[in-house]
Amino acid sequence: MKKVIFLFFGFLLISFLSFAQNTPYLKPGNWKGVIYRLDGNSVPFSFNIALVKDKTIITLINAEELIIVDDFKKLSSDSLLITLPYFNASFEVATYNADQLEGYYIKTLNGKQIKASFIANWNQPRFIDYKPSKYDASGTWDVLLTNNQTNKIMQSVGTFKQNVEGKVTGSFLTPTGDYRFLEGLVSGDTLKLSAFDGERVIYFEGRFINSTTIIEGKLIAGFGGSSKWEAKANPTAKLPNEYDYSKMRPGNTKLDFKFKDLDGKIVSLTDDEFKNKVVVIQLFGSWCPNCMDETRFITDYYKKNRSRGVEVIALAYERYDNPLEANFALKKYKKQFGIQYPILDTGVEPSDPFKAEKSLPQIDKIAGYPSTIFIDRKGEVRKIHTGFSGPATGQFYIQYISNFNKYMDELIAEKLN
């Protein structure tokens, strides 16, 4: 009998050890991750690992934004595939060191993978505050961004909050959207900010020369993009009019398009469900972080206002060559955000210089994503707005939502003659 019991517990022990050896361990707590580019630049970000109801949860942290990651696949006894919820991105990491993860950040597009080296360390902050902050970044700033590859200059706006410990949160607004939730600090005379949401790998750095001027700014974006920037404090800083970038071509007042929805049904503005309705057209892509912010807002607005005679149509501009891949990505996007309005795939890539002519020839150009087209009850285009000031932009987001609601109320209240 003792021999049987010994064998039984021996079997349990072997089973337990096998399970332990074949299950990668992720140590709970706060972590610092760093993505390394081939040019030597790197982007730090923060995340947390926790065990919730026996399930490992990773939370990407960008200021107020928390992105939950819970899709894990074991590749071997000490390696793991971590799939991010958005943007067809993932991490392949080795887990043999409890205090460190090492591997690759991977983006997949059209079956091709782009990789960047990745290392994460347990219980380390995003940035180390080497020196007490000499300056306060709080407020709004006029910013000039200069692309290092094209030398194109873009007028932008910085909006930040800084606490007494030197921690800074905020964002940079551009005419085609904002850089979303940035987090960092002022160490001595240097401002450092970063973010990682699965798509955008972003790092900003600049040096104060006084309380109102930042110089020697550098921006590291994605796998290879970079810009320089400078800023001047301006409490009334704002972008150029976002309604001036796209216009209807002379002689055109209405849009005329026919595209398939995700189930293959042809949808057009002339369909009965849109007749005599106020219609919002959302130009977006599942690859676009700002579009994600706008989608959350429009989805919520549609649910609350559909009964007032409002409809929404989303026109997708995807980066996939294969329509089936695009359809899969868009269906996933629709489910993630609980979208109740139709999504139509234009079949046009966002980088196509003739995207307006191919999809919406009545418009002179599509200046950026997201863009929003407002159509009245008569089916006429009244305004076209480029970009979206998301929740990371604070007062600019609040103002945009207020203006959107006010203008939609005016369109809804209009009577048909």
Residue 366 included in any domain: yes
Q: Domain end: 122, 152, 178, which one?
A: 122
Task: Report the pLDDT value the prediction gives residue 24, as an integer from 0 to 100.
Answer: 62
Residues composing the chain: 417
List of residues 6+ apart from 300 with CB closer than 8 A: none
Task: Report the pLDDT value the prediction gives residue 245, as an integer from 0 to 100.
Answer: 92
Sheet of 343-345, strands arranged across? 343-345, 310-316, 278-284, 371-375, 381-386
Same-domain check for residues 116 and 151? no
Task: Determine the residue type at 84.
Answer: L
| Contact (CB, 8 A) for 309 and 278 | yes
3-state secondary structure the chain: CHHHHHHHHHHHHHHHHHHHHHCCCCCCEEEEEEEECCCCCEEEEEEEEEEECCEEEEEEEECCEEEEECEEEEEECCEEEEECCCCCEEEEEEEEECCEEEEEEEEEECCEEEEEEEEEEECCCCCCCCCCCCCCCCEEEEEEEEECCCCCEEEEEEEEEECCCCEEEEEEEECCEECCCEEEEEECCEEEEEEECCCCEEEEEEEEEECCEEEEEEEEECCCEEEEEEEEECCCCCCCCCCCCCCECCCCCCCCCEEEECCCCEEECCCHHHCCCEEEEEEECCCCHHHHHHHHHHHHHHHHHHHHCEEEEEEECCCCCCHHHHHHHHHHHHHHHCCCCCEEECCCCCCCCCHHHHHCCCECCCCCCCEEEEECCCCCEEEEEECCCCHHHCHHHHHHHHHHHHHHHHHHHCCCC
Q: What are the beta bridge partners of residue 68?
A: 59
Using alpha carbons, select from 53, 118, 52, 126 the residue that is nearest to residue 84: 118
Residue 280 included in any domain: yes
Same-domain check for residues 101 and 197? no
Residue 377 included in any domain: yes
| Contact (CB, 8 A) for 35 and 59 | no
Task: Report the pLDDT value the prediction gives residue 11, as an integer from 0 to 100.
Answer: 36
Domain count for the chain: 3
Tokens 């400078």, located at residue: 230
Same-domain check for residues 285 and 395? yes
Same-domain check for residues 366 and 265? yes
Distance of CA 152 to the CA centre of its chain: 23
Task: Report the pLDDT value the prediction gives residue 151, as an integer from 0 to 100.
Answer: 94
**How far, in Å, CA of 271 to CA of 281, rounded?**
14
Same-domain check for residues 47 and 182? no
Residue 240 included in any domain: no
Distance of CA 246 to the CA centre of its chain: 23
**How far, in Å, CA of 132 to CA of 164, rounded?**
10
Same-domain check for residues 117 and 152? no
What the block records as the tokens of 154 is: 């873009």
Task: Determine the residue type at 119.
Answer: I
Residue 13 included in any domain: no
Full pLDDT tens readout for the chain, 417 residues: 444 333 333 433 333 333 334 446 799 999 999 999 999 999 999 999 998 888 899 999 999 999 999 999 998 888 999 999 988 899 999 988 899 999 999 998 877 889 999 999 999 999 987 888 999 999 999 999 999 999 999 999 999 999 988 999 999 999 989 999 999 999 999 999 999 998 889 999 999 999 999 999 999 998 988 999 999 999 999 999 999 999 999 999 999 999 999 999 999 999 999 999 999 999 999 999 999 999 999 999 999 999 999 999 999 999 998 999 999 999 999 999 999 999 999 999 999 999 999 999 999 999 999 999 999 999 999 999 999 999 999 999 999 999 999 999 999 999 887
State the residue range of the domain holding 57. Answer: 24-122
Same-domain check for residues 35 and 102? yes
What the block records as the tokens of 9 is: 């517990």
**How far, in Å, CA of 179 to CA of 305, rounded?**
29
**How far, in Å, CA of 304 to CA of 286, rounded?**
23
What the block records as the tokens of 331 is: 């269906």
Same-domain check for residues 215 and 269? no
Same-domain check for residues 99 and 184? no
Task: Report the pLDDT value the prediction gives residue 183, as an integer from 0 to 100.
Answer: 97
What the block records as the tokens of 27 is: 């140590």
Report the predicted TM-score, pTM, of the whole model to 2 decimal places.
0.89
Residue 243 included in any domain: no
Same-domain check for residues 405 and 290? yes
Same-domain check for residues 367 and 222? no
Residue 132 included in any domain: no
| Cis peptide upstream of residue 370 (ω within 30 degrees of 0) | yes
What distances in angstroms separate CA 382 from CA 272, 305, 363, 372, 375, one per listed residue?
20, 19, 12, 11, 6
Task: Report the pLDDT value the prediction gives residue 3, as an integer from 0 to 100.
Answer: 41
| Contact (CB, 8 A) for 30 and 22 | no
Sheet of 112-122, strands arranged across? 65-69, 55-62, 42-52, 29-36, 112-122, 100-109, 89-97, 79-83, 71-76
